[in-house]
Amino acid sequence: MALHPEIAAVTDRILERSKARRAAYLDLIRRELESGNDRPKLGCANLAHAYAGTDEQRDRMKDGRAMNIGIVTAYNDMLSAHATYYRYPEQMKVWALEVGATAQVAGGVPAMCDGVTQGYQGMELSLFSRDTIALSTAVSLSHRVFEGAALLGICDKIVPGLLMGALRFGHLPMVLVPGGPMRSGLPNKEKAAVRERYAEGKASREELLEAEIAAYHGKGTCTFYGTANSNQMMMEAMGLHVPGAAFANPGTKLRQELTRTAVHRLTEIGWNGDDYRPIGHIVDERAVVNAAIALLSTGGSTNHLIHLPAIARSAGIIIDWEDFDRLSRAVPLLTRVYPNGSADVNGFEDAGGPGFVIRELLGAGLMHGDTLTFAKEGMAAYGRKPAIEGDALVWHDHPEQSGDDSIVRTVANPFSPEGGFRMVHGNMGRACIKVSAVDPDRWVIEAPARVFSDQQAVQDAFKAGELDRDVVVVVRFQGPRANGMPELHKLTPPLGVLQNKGFRVALVTDGRMSGASGKVPAAIHLSPEALGGGPIGKLRDGDIVRLDAEAGVLEALVDPAEWAARDLAVAPPAAIGTGRELFAMLRNHASEAELGGSAMLAEAGL
């Protein structure tokens, strides 16, 4: 099937825009391969230090003919998703030896659970924890005694951060190794309903805690389709997994064999043979477009409108929100997974999962099918479903129809002819809105603004009954440079209560929302941000604001002369405590959300 013309056009736009940067990137990884991929060249003392900690593999390492795999792990017990990684390195070392290779933990990277920090000070470190992860990945791989790498990370900023760092070592073959979602617990919609009752004072804290623990009840990724699970969908679309590895549950034979195959396949690719395919060649302009399409056709997390531009830039590729907007209008919405529906990610996997979606998109010419992938067979392999037969890991074709068309649909019968994202712009700048989780009758909201500079003030105003009306809640000074661009997801329950009461409600912010945020129309990532002069700083209580997701408009309906003459609001002082002061250097140099929201990339000229 020929590639859809709009997808070809957007890809060409990206290729053209990225030409010089991409050429420089490919030249870098060529030079790195020539200079950096020959362990025997290192000094004897350097090699002895590298091997001492893994003395049981020293003879094989000394021999230098087999791949030494660097494992970069984001294991910790804070993220239920990453707790699954506890024994992965030990197992992976055994699986490497099975095929004559070796593996070492090159380093650990920090990982924040946004669910634990949501609504609290720690959330102001969340976005920049991504740069910290990228830097830690570079420190890990800088030992230069590896011919391949396995990246163990699942959640929100961890996959983006690992890739941002690892792509600077793009001459190495690499694989992303996910751990899988926890089994389904209390359905997400029931959890959200208890939260709204609690916000209204109709449920006790004990009742809420019970509900939350019933939802988040064990090891594995949370089961809503938020940023973490969107990561897995995108990694499949970029060909950076063993095909179909995204959503096999932890502790299963299938999960084990997918990880074992990742280790074996990595050594098969090698670094000096004819199957050499380094991550820097896999992550090209078409793979970035495929990732965007996978995100848009599944109503994935809005955080990837910041993370994918950052990942792409790390490989010399520039994608912008207009690209996303154009792709979103060209690809259909094929899944409804919470918050875009009531099913969770286990239901998505059972109904066909990423493989079904990719098979559909490839078959309709809605994805690039000719990209280089970790799998030998190319992108078609990612349209199939893994299974265990006896002791063997095999792949099967998906059936023509999904297992549940209330969750996954074919291209011929989509939930919507267009994807889940829109860009909106006007006299306050450019913002993003995810429409896949918003009822169409709420895509246009025009109401008086109520302006805040922090999310707690919104909660207080809600509790005081001051928001019980049609209202556009504006929360500013939430951008990367102001306070690290926290997610404002705790505002979802109160705004949802107002919406349930029948009020016309919207949120406008230079901050972010969670991938788990949904039903309330929210224009987010507004750029330029308030700190430093963004026009959102001109808004006043009572101004009429119009948010029209269909027409792509976000406008303060204020007389232009008055708007031009207005002074900007004064920024609140930078907060300290919970380590936030340590991140001032990242805030002060951060680029805008659309450019990736990264001080590290900005200062590196990427």
Ligand X SMILES: O=C(O)[C@H](O)[C@@H](O)[C@H](O)[C@H](O)COP(=O)(O)O
Known binding-site residue numbers: 155, 222
Chosen from ligand X, ligand SF4, none, partner binding at 79 (C-beta under 5 to 8 Å by type): ligand SF4
Tell me how far, at minimum, the Cβ of 130 lies from ligand SF4, in Å: 12
- Indicate the residue among 140 and 227 with the shorter CB distance to ligand X: 227
Phi/psi of residue 53, nearest 5 degrees: -75, -15
Chosen from ligand X, ligand SF4, none, partner binding at 543 (C-beta under 5 to 8 Å by type): none
In the region spanning residues 156 to 185, those forming contacts with ligand SF4, defined by CB under 6 A, are 156
Binding region for ligand X (CB under 6 A): 114-115, 118, 156, 226-228, 301, 303, 487, 489, 514-516
Cα–Cα distance for residue pair 368/366, rounded to 1 Å: 7
CA 370 to chain CA centroid, nearest Å: 24
DSSP, res 408: B
Torsion 480-486-489-491 (CA) sign: negative
Tell me how far, at minimum, the Cβ of 241 lies from ligand SF4, in Å: 17
| Contact residue for ligand SF4 among 108, 153, 226, 535 (CB under 6 A) | 226
Amino acid, single-letter form, for residue 100 = G
Tell me how far, at minimum, the Cβ of 454 lies from ligand X, in Å: 18
For position 114 contacting ligand SF4 by CB under 6 A, the verdict is: yes
Q: Which of 325, 350, 324, 326 is nearest to 337 (CA)?
A: 350
| Contact residue for ligand SF4 among 68, 102, 221, 259 (CB under 6 A) | 221
- Indicate the residue among 220 and 239 with the shorter CB distance to ligand SF4: 220
Which DSSP string corresponds to 150-172?
Answer: EEE--STTHHHHHHHHHGGGTTS
- Indicate the residue among 70 and 353 with the shorter CB distance to ligand SF4: 353
- Indicate the residue among 114 and 510 with the shorter CB distance to ligand SF4: 114
By CB under 6 A, which span of 111-119, 365-373, 409-417, 497-505 interacts with ligand SF4? 111-119
Q: Which of 375, 367, 370, 379 is nearest to 290 (CA)?
A: 367
Ranked by CB distance to ligand SF4, the top (closest) residue is 115
Chosen from ligand X, ligand SF4, none, partner binding at 599 (C-beta under 5 to 8 Å by type): none
Q: Which of 323, 358, 305 is nearest to 515 (CA)?
A: 305
Chosen from ligand X, ligand SF4, none, partner binding at 489 (C-beta under 5 to 8 Å by type): ligand X
Phi/psi of residue 599, nearest 5 degrees: -70, -35
For position 80 contacting ligand SF4 by CB under 6 A, the verdict is: yes
Cα–Cα distance for residue pair 173/180, rounded to 1 Å: 22
Q: Pull the structure tokens for residue 582.
A: 């340590």
C-alpha dihedral, 406 to 218 to 265 to 363, nearest 10° = 10
As a residue count, the chain comes to: 606
- Residues annotated within the binding site for [4Fe-4S] cluster are 155, 222
- Stretch 405-434: interaction string toward ligand SF4, x if CB under 6 A: ------------------------------
Cα–Cα distance for residue pair 139/109, rounded to 1 Å: 10
Q: Which of 317, 253, 302 is nearest to 434 (CA)?
A: 302
By CB under 6 A, which span of 17-25, 220-228, 406-414, 430-438 interacts with ligand SF4? 220-228
Q: Where are the alpha helices (DSSP H) in 299-386?
A: 304-314, 321-330, 345-351, 353-363
Specify the pairing of strand 68-73 against strand 553-556: unpaired
By CB under 6 A, which span of 74-82, 258-266, 320-328, 463-471 interacts with ligand SF4? 74-82
By CB under 6 A, which span of 75-83, 271-279, 311-319, 332-340 interacts with ligand SF4? 75-83
Tell me how far, at minimum, the Cβ of 228 lies from ligand SF4, in Å: 4
Phi/psi of residue 181, nearest 5 degrees: -80, 150
The residues binding ligand SF4 (CB under 6 A) are 79-81, 113-115, 155-156, 221-222, 226, 228
